[in-house]
Structures are given as C-alpha cells and as structure tokens.
A and B are shown apart, each in its own frame.
Chain A
C-alpha cells in the first residue's frame, strides 16, 4: 500500500539541507528539472516488475454518493455528513487508501445508512425496484433473502456468501417481527450492508496468481470494481458483475470489451471528469473566498462556475474531439457562464447556463492556466500569489514536490512602496535569501507569469501604476507572458509524463513503488504513440500488469 519508499526519505533529506542552509538546491523536482538544468536526463535501468501490495481504500465522498445513487436509486437524497476526504500526493483517491476513520465518522456512517435505507423503503418506486418479491407475511425469510442477495451483490460488489445472506436474513426477520413491519426488516438489513466494511471500503486484496505463485492477481470482482471506479467513479453495474462472474475479465480482450462499453456510456464522462477534478483540486473551489470589496466580480457562486468551466473544456477535448491532452494548455475556446464572462471581461455567450467563447489573444488568456479555477484558487482572498500559482503548476502538472517553508524564518515581504510597486519587486527577497531561493526558484518564476491576472483572474497590465513584467523561462524556454507559458507547458516533456503518473496513482490508489517503474515508462511511451489521447491511455492502463497484479501485503507479527 503506502510503500512510497522513495518520496519520504528524499523529502526528509531535503528538509535537513534546508535547515542547515548548506545546500541551495534542496528542492528537487521529481520528474524533471531545476529551471536552469538543460542536461538530457539519464534514464536509470528499469527494475523488474514488482507490484504494490493490495489496498483498502475508503470510498471518497463522491464515490459514496455516486454508488448510493447507482445501487439504491437516483431518487435518494444522499447524506453528506460522512468522513471528509483527505488528500495525499495531491489526490483524494490516494488519501482514501490510507485514511483512518474516527468514532465520529463511524457514527455518521450509521446515521447515513439508516437515512438511506429508510428513504429507499419509503419511496414506492425505489422499494419496488429493490425488492424483487412479495412477502407472504410480516416475516418472510424467503423474500428478505431475495432482497439481501440482489442488493448485497451491488453493495459488496461481489456475490454474498451463504453465511452472509443468512446473517442478514436473521436481522431482517427479527426486526420485522419486533417492529411488526416487513419492510422495516429490510431497512435494518440494508443499513447493515451500508455500514459494512465491504461496502464502505474497496478491499483490493488479490488471490494467488496460478502463473506466478510469488505474486497475487486481483480476482474478477476486484478487477471489475477497479475498472468501474476508474472509468465511472462508482460501483460496477450488473452487466460488469455478470461479466466478472462469467470469467469475462480474465483476458485482455475481455477486459477491453467491458472497458469499451463503459467508455461509450455517459457515465464515463462523469468518471473521467472526477479524475481531473481530483487532480486539479477542483473541490477546493467550493470554498474559494475573495474579499468582495477588492474583487467586485466575486460572488460565492464563482467557484462552482469556474469548476464547471474547467470540466466542460476537458470533457469536450477528451470525449468530443478525442484531442491531444497537451492542448489543454493552449486552447482559447472555453465554455463559460455570464458570471465568468464578467470576470473575463468578454460578452456573455448565453443568458443562462454555459456557452462557448473564444478568448482574444490580446489578454494572454489561454488554456487551463488562464481560468479562474487555477488563477483564483491559487491566490489569496485579497491578492494574487506567485508562490501558490507556481507551486500548483510544479506539483500538479510537473509532478515535482515542493517542501513547505522552513519554520523559524521571517516570511514577511516588503510592503508596496514606490520602489516595490509590483509583486515581482516584492518577492525579490525570495531570491536573495538562500534558504528561500532553493524552493522559491521553482515556484515564483512560473507564478509571476500570471501576474497579468489579479487574485480572481481578471486581466490587468499594471499593478500600483507600474507595468507588469510577466516574463520568465521554464525548462530552457523563454516566455514573455502567460500566453507563451501555455505553449511552453504544451511542449514540456514532463507534462504528459506527469499526467500518466497522476492517472496511474488515481487508478491504483497508491503511490507507485519502484517495481512499477516499467509500467509508468511503458504507459508514457504509449501515451505519446496514441497522440496524447486520454481515453486511449485508460485503455492501455486497464490491461497493464500494475493495474492487475499485487504482491503479498506486509504483515508484522501481532502482539496479542
């Protein structure tokens, strides 16, 4: 699981260097390059394939919600008071594989389970769908058994064992008798399933691989849910479970047959959007706050509209155009509503909802990095932040790790004066102090490219009366402004590699281990061959050994 063997010690080493301020290059970029480095990277030899151990990922809030809507019904109002998501390595899905529940969260899951089960049995249409039989009395073990068997398969994402079915029938019968109501029995049986670790977590444990006893392979049902959460971000449907039951997922052809069916389905758009929402931290937009006296175009709805814009652009490129992922950094077309149009200072494309617009080249606004979802999110509530913007680009699109600032350091920057009117002037101190420079040189030069956009994302050419200089260089390529930086990002070799790494982590739910290097390299090479088509990348990933095999979990002896 959390065998991120490589990142932690390196990280600690980086720290130590910072603390001693003996080394100004403490900040290391994972994939690429310090800004000044132009050496061709020397590829170390690929170690043998050795997968990560299995995992026990908690459903994220989005997965819990989409799973309930899918297995119980779209009529259900899904409770939101459940364990909050946590982010690790930039992804909520990786956080879900290591997070630990508190007793309060367990209580919330109990409340949510009864809430959902009560709704399900109270809404006629839902009840009739879930209960495939007519009870022959207040207590009807036969009918309760049919309900438990059918619903349980969807909830546990595998057929229930006879033992499991019998235990749930006892709950249902006993409750029906005590409360004198057959369907109350089903409420309690359903509440039991919705609180079970088999529903709340996605146990990916593996079974012995007959071809190679040293490693494990995910069984057909585990593979089914791995595929389903990757492509739809929800629990497998009955067709996929049927395919698993029939052994249809044991070959590459069988897997791809199901995957192609699923990619054709509308739910694939939600699923792929969910990946990008996770990677781009779009859920953070929900709580984006700006001082409305400074940013007069801000309102609390802006965050969710900005998310909608980014998602619409990505979805259009991937699903409607089967386009090149890298074009997300250079496209000028976007889908926006009237509130964003006001921020972007262009005519609203439509009175209500979203419409397509083309940004004028004169405003340097281009691609994902010209949108409020990036510019507004990575800024303060009263000002911009070159550091936050640069950090986001480094971490999210280039997969570099940037340590937090060292403690016990005076972090104040000069105030605005006649000598220091622009942010570039004020953060110059970051490059003068060695302790600051080692990390800030990775962030600030990129972030300053976006100074033509204020803390919300509105275009400007001056700050405090001084003309903004947004130039810089990245990976040896010079840019004059954010527009040109978009092209530099488009051409940066680490950008597609980083997407592959993010998708791999998202799909497998863990930080890659050394033995998976070959998988990442091969997927990156295929991504180039497939002309950076994200859907093709997903098709390659589902048949990659790293997606299908595990190694034995680490078990240390337990003290009784």
Chain B
C-alpha cells in the first residue's frame, strides 16, 4: 500500500485555495487525498485526475533516458527529451524497469504489459487486451467515478481522418483503453466531435443554471427497455457471449449515470471556461500525405485541458499515435513504423561522462530519423503538460492535482524491446509523487510497479497484473513518492 503523503504546507495551500480553511476541519484531508467528488459542489477542494499520454513504436533509450551523475545525483535531459527542459521540475523519469510478461506479440505485448500487467489475449488471430487498462481501472475507482459527467475521455491524433473513407466513415488507429477483456474504446479522432460531446448540449458552466430537460428522464426510460431486452436475451447465450452482453449493459448504465449527472449543479471551478470551437475536421487532414500531428495535438490538448478543468471527466487518455503507428511525419523519409525497423544506426553522438567515470566520453550510434520523430513527439507531450500547468487551481496548478503517465508500446522500436521501458510522470498528484527527479533502477524491476503505484494513488487495489507481470508492492520504486 502506498502512502499518500501530504506536507502540512500542501494541505494548507489547498485549504486556502479552496477558501474553505476556516470552516472545514480535519476531514478536508480525506477529500484532498481521495478526490471525493461530492465535496466539489461547494468548492472545497480540487478533483484529482489521471492522464495517459501514449505514443507508438517506442524510443531509443540511449537518446531518451536522462543522463545521470551517479555520485552527485545530478541529471540532465537526453536529446530526445530536450523539449521537456522547461518542465524539468514538473516531471519524473523512472528508467530501468522491464515488462516481465513474454514478448510474444511485437508491440501488443508491450502495450498490454504496461497497461494491464498481463499478456495480450489472442482471439481468432485478433490481438486484444485480457483485462481493463490502467486508465479504465482508475476511472472506475469510487473516488474517481463519482462526480464527473464522463467516466473517461480518449483521444488520438492517429486516424484515417482526411483519407477518402467510404460510406462507413473515418476511424481511429489504435488506442489502448479497454473497459474489460477485449472491450476496446475507440479514441475520439475529431476535435470537433469531442467539443460537441463534452461542451455541446448537456454542458453547463460553473454556477450556470441547468434546467433539467424532460428528455433526460425520457431517455432513461428508453434505456430501461434496452436493459429489459438484454435481460431476456442473456439466459439463452453461452458464457462468452454473456460476458460481451454484460459489457454492453455496463455501457448502458454508464449512459444512465451521465444522464443523472447532467441534472446536477455543476462544480464551482474558477478556471473552467467555455472553449473556443475547434476548427472543422478538414483543418487536420494530412497535407501532401504528411499528417499534421502538431495542429491535431494542439486542438485536443485545449479540449482535454478544459474537460479536466471543468470537471467533466477526471481521466483522460491521449493515444497520441497508435501502436505500430504508420504516420508519415513531416520531413521523414518513411512512415514511423517502417523507419524503426529499416533505418540503420547511421548517426553517432559522443557525450562527456561525469568525472571519475572509466572513460571520459561515451559514443553511441542511433537512427537519426527515428530520433527526430521521437523528439517531435516529446515536443507535443511537453505542450500538453504545459497546458495542464497553465490552469490555475487555487495557489497551485491543475498539473499539481493530477498525474500524467507517458509511455509507449516498447523501448527500442527496432527490436520491440521490453526492458529499460520508457516511463515519464508529470504532476505530483497532490503531493503524492516526487517530481523533478530521475529514478534509475538497477536490476530491471517489474514495470508493473508503476501502474500499481498510479492506481493506488486513486484507490485501493491489492495487486497489479498477472503471472510474471504481477506485483503487490511498490517497494522497488519507493523513490517515486514524496
């Protein structure tokens, strides 16, 4: 069990920020730690949020992992993460961990390993997850699920938007949010559609009046008919189909709770403003075959920032690019996935090692175009973190009240490596995690310790993962806590 440590100063800051210090006594601490949404309506605290930032095809560890002086403990950012320089005190690297489940399926084993702690599930040649992903586990924890309108929001900049899609329309590539075994959530790929979903009908600004439309109750009665039909169908099904139908019904009940939350008075969050309407989808179409990942990412970043600031959701998962992403980045000679496999190590870098090292310098070789793509992705990650940080919440920022988990589907893309896995955290989550550090762990501990620690920051769970991926302690990474 991890402890959620709060310094006395943090508590006081939070209390002052909430304007409730005088009237609220000790129980505030509980609100603060558990992110209990019920307390929000009267402005007595800020919700605690969880964000995922994922990119496909891994990194080049020797160019991504921070470089550390083992004697002094001082660390510097490596070239691929240089775009995060301005945020160095708001982020933490945890390196040296390994996915312990078998590397049976290139890319999918890494994604399933990091987000579920289990091996992927293969059904009739289709690769999928065997259990709910980290974001969905957190989204269903009692302290998180109560309150916001949407249990979670998923987005991606990797889609078929802008291609001549047929009558069935465009779709997202990838995304690793699963509500349960094989229950994949397609991430939203249209900024405009996301805007309408969150900030269209059904959204109310803080202190805005929400006349409850009669349609809410009528829609609920319609859902009762759906549940009733399902209840009559279910006994005739085999076990596997019953599980599929149950997942569907879980979605129906989630809809019911959305309808209920729309009838509630919105929370008083001063940083919540109505977002500007995003550009139409056509603005994000690829130009000359090159995806506009940066503009796309910026549009989603704005919307996700306000979705969190307005407490419309407390869990956002941004699947920036897909696993095995085939995005053709501006200036790149081939699509990302092909590059990672086909490009040779034709570039060298020599950098100085700290005094006292066996050699004065170290020389590495790497794939220069892959390197550039990963660096560009880190630029986009930095923009998202900065955007969360730009939201003032009391005397702190929204980033202080959340934790963002950034990772990929492998370490070295070329070999689909599972050791030295890329892990970056941003935001201390109300003083739980220690930012501004590089935790480099010897002996390749189980990477599941990180999702276990993250999930435990939002609720109580006994363990994380299965078989070789299972952990029930965060001891190897205790340094990530404040």
Contact = CB atoms under 8 A, between A and B. Distances in A.
Given A99-B182, A383-B334, A409-B415, A195 B222 contact: yes
Interface string B203-238: 000000000001101110111011011100100111
Contacts of B184: 86, 99-100, 102
A303 interface: yes
Nearest to B103: A407
A273 interface: no
Contacts of A196: 225-226, 229-230
A387 B255 CA distance: 45
B112 to A, nearest CB: 13
Given A88-B123, A303-B163, A408-B415, A298 B289 contact: yes
A487 interface: no
Contact of B226 (A102, A192, A286): A192
A293 B163 contact: no
Interface string A50-85: 000111100001100100000000000010110111
Interface in A321-358: none
Contact of B181 (A100, A292, A304): A100
Contacts of A15: 104
B262 interface: no
A107 B221 CA distance: 15
A89 B166 contact: no
B418 A407 contact: yes
Interface stretch (B266-274, B339-347, B392-400, B421-429): B339-347
A178 to B, nearest CB: 5
B20 interface: no
A362 interface: no
B174 to A, nearest CB: 11
A98 B186 contact: no
B436 interface: no
Chain B: interface residue count, which band? 35 or more
A415 B333 CA distance: 13
B254 interface: yes
Contact of A553 (B109, B214, B226, B238): B238
A11 B127 CA distance: 13
A93 B341 CA distance: 32
B233 A203 contact: yes
B167 A62 contact: yes
Interface string B154-186: 100000101111111111110001111111111
A102 B229 contact: no
B30 interface: no
B225 A168 contact: yes
B417 A408 contact: yes
Contact of B124 (A98, A288, A292): A98
A381 B328 contact: yes
B126 A401 contact: no
Interface string A83-124: 111111110001100111111111100100000000000000
A104 B177 CA distance: 11
B251 A382 contact: no
B38 interface: no
B77 interface: no
B250 A103 contact: yes
A412 B370 CA distance: 13
B335 A103 contact: no
Contact of A80 (B106, B122, B169, B245): B169
A102 to B, nearest CB: 4
Contact of A103 (B255, B286, B288, B334): B255
Interface stretch (A2-10, A365-373, A465-473, A521-529): A2-10
A103 B166 CA distance: 25
Interface string B432-467: 000000000000000000000000000000000000
Contacts of A289: 163, 286, 289, 326, 328, 335
B124 A104 contact: no
Chain A to chain B: the 10 pairs with minimum beta-carbon distance, closest first: A80-B169, A553-B238, A106-B251, A103-B251, A407-B103, A287-B160, A88-B124, A102-B185, A103-B254, A61-B168
Given A11-B125, A99-B244, A197-B230, 12 more contacts: A86-B126, A100-B182, A102-B251, A103-B151, A104-B185, A171-B222, A192-B222, A290-B289, A382-B328, A404-B106, A410-B415, A555-B242
Interface of B: 103-106, 109, 122-126, 151, 154, 160, 162-173, 177-186, 193, 214-215, 217-219, 221-223, 225-226, 228-230, 233, 236-245, 247-248, 250-252, 254-255, 258, 286, 288-289, 326, 328, 333-335, 338, 341-344, 414-418
12 contacts: A1-B240, A15-B104, A88-B123, A102-B183, A106-B251, A192-B222, A196-B230, A286-B163, A289-B286, A383-B338, A411-B415, A412-B414
